[in-house]
Amino acid sequence: MKGRILTKAISLLFGGALAVVPAAAMAQEGCDVAIQLTGKRNWIIDCNMVKEDGDTLQVNRKGRGSSSKTGIVLTQVVSGTCRYTVPRGGELTIRINTGEELDCPFDVTGEECMVRIAAGTEGEFAFGEKA
């Protein structure tokens, strides 16, 4: 009798634990991310994006001259971190479109996820899954 109770307890314990592991190990679902970069002078942005399969991609963009426009577009992104440098006399505007899946990393009051970076500024921002 004690053996059956012990076996049942072990079965419940490990059965419950095994049911929890797959849920915890499930990968996050990624989304499409589009970052539009416009500015002038020699600004730089370096980003590390984590994809839903766990791979990390490094993406770098540079601005040149009096007016430059470029972007970063990736699919299945779960999170990202970007560092930027804007020289004196330069400017950089960053617009991020992630749909509604990821939080906007900037303090915005409207619906557009956008920030204007001041000349002579270095910094970073990060975005990820909404809480």
- Convert the pLDDT of each residue in 68-106 to its tens digit: 999 999 999 999 999 999 999 999 999 999 877 788 899
Q: pLDDT of 14-60, one tens digit each?
A: 344 433 333 333 456 888 999 999 999 899 999 999 999 999 999 99
Ordered DSSP codes for 19-82: HHHHHHHPPPP-EEEEEEEEEESS-EEEEEEEETTS-EEEEEEE--SS-EEEEEEEEEEEEEEE
Q: How many residues does the chain have?
A: 131
Residues 111 and 69: their CA atoms lie apart, in Å, by 22
Q: What is the pTM of this model?
A: 0.74
Tell whether the model's pLDDT for residue 110 goes beyond 90.
Answer: no
Q: What is the pLDDT of residue 99?
A: 74
* Nearest by Cα to 126 from 86, 99, 94: 94
Residue 85 belongs to what H/E stretch? strand 68-86
